[in-house]
Amino acid sequence: MASLRVGAVLLFAVLLLLLEVASAGLNGYFGTKSRYEDVNPYLVRDPLSLGPAAAGSGLPPSCAPLQLRALLRHGTRYPTAEQIRRLGDLHARLLRRRPAADAELSAAACPAAAALAAWQMWYNESLDGRLAPQGRRDMEHLARRLAARFPALFAARRRLVLASSSKHRCLQSGAAFRRGLGPSFSLGGDEAEVEVNDSLMRFFDHCAKFVALVEENDTAMGQVKAFKEGPEMRKVVEKVASALCLPVEELNADLVQVAFLTCSYELAIKNVTSPWCSLFSEEDAKVLEYLNDLKQYWKRGYGYDINSRSSCILFQDIFQHLDKAVEESKSSKPISSPVIVQVGHAETLQPLLALMGFFKDDEPLKANNYIRQTHRKFRTGRIVPYAANLVFVLYHCDQVKNPEEEYQVQMLLNEKLMLFQHSNETISTYAELKHYYKNILENCHFKEECELPKVNNTAIDEL
């Protein structure tokens, strides 16, 4: 009897271990639902660590930062109402398939379904995409790390310009970032803590051409749709249906995706490995990651030009402020905006990175090249996890041989130095950078890019 109990305990321990191992293998594949810690794992041990890369910035010692512009994605959030509805639907199906009187028998026959039916559906639609408590911590910690990395810019009483998308999770993220900096930071005398600017942070909503061609166009996501019905996804759907003892017709790619997302949400929001994770192997996770990346690629990335062109309003705003700081520095004036922090979405950062040419693969992501894209650059989990941040730092350098070297720029994505497209180096003179992006700076105008081609009503009427 005792040995039986020991055996049961051992078995349970082994099962727990397997669950841990299994879910640890999934963490890298959550796409835009990835934790920031999955990009910078050293933060798990110490959320204020500047990481192994902090030491070597590659800057000449005579350079001092003049201006920092940080574009942030909001922190960890709850699922949207739509996702919660789908999860409720899936969970209800699992509850229905379990005959209450026969719970034990049913559990033995279908342990995964029994475990998930017993799982408490605690999400409710009023949570709709709001910032989770973990999201506040993401932002407070990020603020403290940035301040520690650039102490001169974030020194007490320096002015902070803080702008945000109008979404509640972004406003809350901005406020949490602000709190992370401590009470001594001046907001320039304005009472308003966070200024809303959707034309900069939600440019996609204001771009009529993007809305018509991509957002509200059923055929624009053709590759995504095809992958959902393709052989890789079908295999995952069949596997999950079999694990849940459900007829395969009762499941589809969307429901399987919501099960996978729930695994990611429970980890990101509650720091637990949920039983939803046990439905998926690492191979399945790779397929679901591709599905997520595919959608981002066609909706926010290189899939359609208008995705990135709609962000040129933000791109130009960044360079206008850099120009202004250079001008002020040249005329020995104080820098009016040493720190500019703007909070938006994955959908804000991704198009901008595409406009600048980052993470572009030789071949487009398509429904039929899953295998060939195994080593793709476009992996949204690496690029835009929760609390993702793209930082531009302008430096003033003394004792330079060439006057062009007086102003230099670095870019960091998720606190790691980026390699500039034009040089593969982590630092560029400001002049060189502007030269490389001359065409976008001069020829990309939001209004023209986003205008819909004029419809000839006469011609349509005659049809």
Ligand X SMILES: *[C@@H]1O[C@H](CO)[C@@H](O)[C@H](O)[C@H]1NC(C)=O
- CA torsion through residues 180, 186, 191, 194, sign: negative
**Could you tell me which stretch among 60-68, 216-224, 277-285, 362-370 binds ligand X (CB under 6 A)?**
216-224
Which residue type sits at 73? R
Stretch that binds ligand X, among 284-292, 410-418, 421-429, 441-449 (CB under 6 A): 421-429
Least gap, CB of 81 to ligand X (angstroms): 9
Does 120 engage in binding with ligand X (CB under 6 A)? no
Question: Looking at beta carbons only, is 137 or 239 nearer to ligand X?
Answer: 137
Residue 126 binds ligand X, judged by CB under 6 A = yes
Reply yes or no on whether 141 is catalytic. Answer: no
Complex with ligand X: residue 78 or 280, whichever CB lies closer: 78
Pairing between β-strand 389-397 and β-strand 416-417 as defined by DSSP bridges = unpaired
Alpha-carbon distance of 53 to 194, in angstroms, equals: 31
Distance between CA atoms of 273 and 374, rounded to whole angstroms? 26
The nearer residue to ligand X, 150 or 436, going by C-beta atoms, is 436
Question: Which 356-375 residues touch ligand X, going by CB under 6 A?
Answer: none
Which one of 362, 459, 461, 463 is in contact with ligand X (CB under 6 A)?
459
The number of CA neighbours under 13 Å toward the Cβ of 54 is: 13
436-444 own/partner pairs: CB under 8 Å, 24+ apart: 437/315, 437/319, 437/356, 440/312, 440/315, 440/316, 440/355, 441/315, 441/316, 441/319, 444/309, 444/312, 444/315, 444/316, 444/355
Phi-psi region of 366 (alpha: psi -120 to 50; beta: other; left: phi over 0): beta
Q: Cα–Cα distance between 5 and 8 in angstroms, integer?
A: 5
Where does this chain touch ligand X (CB under 6 A) — which range of 53-61, 72-80, 122-130, 232-240? 122-130
Q: CB-based burial of residue 251 (10 Å sphere; 0-12 exposed, 13-18 middle, 19+ buried)?
A: buried
The answer to whether 299 and 348 are in contact (CB under 8 A) is no
CB of 3 to ligand X, least distance (A): 30
Least CB distance to ligand X at residue 212 (A) = 5
What 3-state class would DSSP assign to 245? coil
50 binds ligand X (CB under 6 A): no
Residues between 254 and 313 that touch ligand X (CB under 6 A): 271
Nearest in space to 409 (alpha carbons), one of 59, 150, 119, 138: 59
Q: Residues near 399 by Cβ (< 8 Å), separated by ≥ 6?
A: 62
Residue 29 gets which letter from DSSP? G
Q: Site mask, ligand X, residues 186-215, x = CB under 6 A?
A: ---------x-x-xx-----------xx--
Find the binder of ligand X among 99, 424, 453, 461 (CB under 6 A). 424
CA distance 7 to 18: 16
Nearer to ligand X, 213 or 400 (CB): 213
Contact assessment for residue 250 and residue 238, using Cβ atoms and an 8 Å cutoff: no
> Residue from 125, 238, 282, 404 that binds ligand X (CB under 6 A)?
125
Region binding ligand X by CB under 6 A among candidate stretches 27-35, 255-263, 402-410, 420-428: 420-428
Residue whose CB is less far from ligand X, 190 or 398: 190
| Residues numbered 85-114 forming contacts with ligand X, rule: CB under 6 A | none
175 versus 220: smaller Cβ distance to ligand X: 220
Q: Quick one: 15 or 103, whose CB is closer to ligand X?
A: 15
Task: For residue 220, state whether it binds ligand X (rule: CB under 6 A).
Answer: yes
Contact window for ligand X (CB under 6 A) among 2-10, 89-97, 119-127, 280-288: 119-127
Any contact of residue 425 with ligand X (CB under 6 A)?
no
Active site amino acids: 74
Residues near ligand X (CB under 6 A): 124-126, 195, 197, 199-200, 212-213, 217, 219-220, 271, 317, 422-424, 456, 458-459
